[in-house]
Amino acid sequence: MSVFPSSKPAATTTAAPPPANGATAGPPAATKTATNGGATKSNLYNPTSRQPYLAIAGSILYVLYRPHRPSFTLASLRIHRLNLTTTADSASSHLSTLFNLTLSSKNPNSHLTFTYDPFTLSCVTSNNDVFIGNGTLLSLSTGKLQ
């Protein structure tokens, strides 16, 4: 275990003798600092040396688990209600729909589990000018088949 001082040691300076007969002084005197017995040491803690270890650990985990993306398939889509109503003067119309869809997922990974929070699903036309509907999907988890 190494103990390092909390502050730098005092610097020692060597000064040249004053010039004789009123002549101007030359360049300033050199400063010499004694550091831990006179030898300079590099920092022992080097955070950049962790990156190769992280890359190696990540590569080992990838080789062991070989992760693949889960696949999702729309198993069925049923329209239970499709109702178009217009006002008496035919100025505006309203489309009311009720869809029931079944989404199936397959996890090809035997060691990994994917968990999804509930999320909202919206359906609009391709140029976003007609809103068709929205709904929510419950949370789900794709784990290992047993």
In the predicted model, is pLDDT for residue 113 greater than 80? yes
Average pLDDT over residues 97-116: 84
Q: H-helix or E-strand containing 137?
A: strand 131-137
Q: Which amino acid is at 52?
A: P
Please give the pLDDT value at position 41: 58
The per-residue pLDDT for 143 is 74
- Using CA atoms, how far apart are residues 32 and 76, in angstroms rounded to an integer? 82
Longest CA span, the chain: 116
**CA-to-CA dists, residue 116 to 7, 73, 75, 79, angstroms:** 52, 16, 19, 26
pLDDT digits 0-9 by tens, 5-61:
666 656 555 555 666 665 555 555 555 555 555 556 565 666 667 788 889 999 998
Predicted confidence (pLDDT) per residue in 56-103, tens digit: 999 998 888 888 888 989 999 898 888 889 988 888 888 788 888 888
**Of 142, 136, 145, 140, which is closest to residue 116 (Cα–Cα)?**
140
What is the DSSP secondary structure assignment for residue 18, as one 8-state letter? Answer: P
